[in-house]
């Protein structure tokens, strides 16, 4: 059981890490090193020997191994990222990098995504050092750079260049799972992530005939691009159920006493009410236009127009995604992957999933644990190159009215202290049993 010092430290560490500005704007100017050094120092104080690794100066990762009691057991990767997305101070109630602790809440960028989990990991490992606890299996602890952009300086670099540090790891846990979801009807759900949609960020390029804006032009690149973007934005992707999402729908339907008609997915979602939010973004592929760039003068028709689309595809459905984009863009617009990462599917019948479920149920017996597929992506994608199966497990017990999903990349990001305490207790319980 987590002791008081661990509960105090998780709040202190979350606040301290928030105060270290690790904003990642995607242009390579982020500096995770101060946060990496902070985390490494806390690990070293617990008797571990952390290694600091950089592909690019200042883009620092931390890796340490905590040896387990069973040398024959497969190792478990426990990872969190150190970088955060930008925040504009004028939009916030408190300064986003203040780490202010007020009214039972820790405020600041990274409070949920995901310096809270980094702090939980540190707090648990340090308590174990005080108590002389060793887990059954080796734990490889990794704090990564660059997750909020390409991960090239973070988990991608580690997976490609430092495979040996993850020797024996077959499974991993990280962000976005085991949080409280209030369904509006008095029930608490705890989604455990066992899958991620793949990332397909697309660059669309339309080419045409440049010319004067006053002349007839049947080969206008802007028009061609606009038509393709309109088709993509209006397209209704058909439902495609992965094992995780299928299981989620069946369990949710049973919870609410609804017949799980999987041949009418949208109708079933309507019957689930607010709980549908847990699965509605992962029953199909998606492609959302996000950026446009064309022209340089109002009376000049440009010869090229460019757009970007945030595409996501379900495990097993990347080929369908590609074929559909070929049809939607048509003959006059070319598309390519600006950034691509695989979709992930993790088994729901594994001992690790069962232990995560048991840990949540011990400290939230009133809750209902349900399977969950993430609509976006995490560092688990890069670590999957090493054969590591990834789960989303950042336990937080949240009060009703707290919009967890809105905290990700949102204004006034914050996390309740009690949620951090719950997270430490559950993480401690799971890792001891893992």
Q: How many helices (H) and strands (E) does the chain have?
A: 12, 19
Q: How many whole angstroms separate alpha carbon 243 and alpha carbon 343?
A: 13
The half-sphere exposure of 241 on its side-chain side, counting CA atoms within 13 A, is: 17
Has 83 been annotated as catalytic?
Answer: yes
Token duo for residue 337: 């992957």
Beta-sheet pairing, 344-345 with 304-313: unpaired
What is the enclosing helix (H) or strand (E) of 23? none
DSSP characters for 131-183? Answer: HT---SS-EEEEEES-TTTT-TTTHHHHHHH-GGGGTTEEEEEESS-SB-EE-
- Check: CB of residue 245 under 8 Å from CB of residue 372: no
Of 254, 317, 256, whose CA–CA distance to 283 is shortest? 317
Per DSSP bridges, beta strands 139-144 and 75-81 are parallel
Q: Closest Cα partner for 179 from 120, 137, 124? A: 120
Which candidate in 83, 171, 175, 183 is catalytic?
A: 83
Set 147, 183, 341, 428: catalytic member: 147
Active-site positions read: 83, 147
């Amino acid at each position: 059981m987590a002791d008081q010092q661990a509960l105090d430290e998780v709040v202190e560490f979350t606040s301290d890490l928030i105060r270290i500005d690790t904003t990642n704007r995607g242009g390579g100017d982020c500096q995770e090193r101060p946060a990496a050094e902070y985390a490494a120092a806390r690990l070293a104080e617990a008797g571990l020997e952390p290694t600091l690794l950089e592909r690019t100066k200042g883009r620092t990762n931390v890796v340490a191994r905590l040896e387990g009691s069973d040398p024959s057991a497969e190792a478990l990767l426990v990872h969190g990222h150190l970088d955060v997305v930008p925040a504009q101070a004028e939009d916030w109630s408190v300064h986003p990098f203040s780490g202010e602790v007020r009214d039972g809440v820790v405020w600041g960028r990274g409070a949920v995504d995901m310096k809270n989990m980094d702090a939980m990991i540190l707090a648990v490992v340090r308590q174990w050092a005080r108590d002389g606890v060793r887990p059954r299996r080796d734990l490889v602890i990794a704090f990564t750079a660059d997750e909020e952009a390409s991960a090239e300086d973070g988990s991608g670099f580690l997976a490609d260049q430092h495979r040996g540090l993850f020797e024996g790891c077959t499974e991993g846990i990280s962000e976005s799972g085991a949080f409280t979801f209030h369904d509006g009807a008095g029930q608490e759900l705890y989604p455990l992530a066992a899958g991620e949609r793949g990332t397909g960020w697309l660059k669309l390029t339309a080419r045409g005939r440049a010319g004067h804006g006053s002349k007839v032009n049947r080969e206008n690149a802007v028009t061609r691009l606009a038509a393709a973007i309109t088709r993509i934005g209006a397209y209704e992707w058909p439902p495609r159920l992965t094992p995780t999402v299928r299981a989620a729908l069946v369990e949710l339907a049973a919870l609410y006493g609804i017949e799980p008609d999987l041949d009418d997915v949208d109708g079933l979602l309507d019957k689930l009410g607010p709980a549908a939010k847990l699965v509605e973004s992962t029953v199909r592929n998606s492609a959302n236009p996000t950026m446009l760039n064309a022209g340089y003068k109002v009376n000049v028709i440009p010869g090229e127009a460019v757009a970007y689309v945030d595409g996501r595809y379900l495990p097993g459905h990347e080929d369908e995604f590609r074929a559909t984009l070929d049809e939607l863009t048509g003959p006059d617009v070319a598309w390519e992957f600006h950034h691509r990462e695989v979709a992930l599917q993790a088994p729901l019948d594994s001992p690790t999933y069962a232990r995560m479920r048991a840990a949540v149920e011990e400290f939230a017996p009133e809750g209902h644990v349900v399977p969950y597929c993430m609509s976006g992506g995490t560092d688990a994608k890069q670590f999957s190159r090493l054969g590591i199966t990834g789960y989303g497990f950042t336990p937080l017990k949240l009060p009703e009215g707290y919009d967890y999903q809105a905290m990700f990349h949102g204004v006034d990001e914050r996390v309740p202290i009690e949620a951090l305490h719950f997270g430490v207790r559950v993480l401690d319980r799971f890792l001891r049993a893992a």
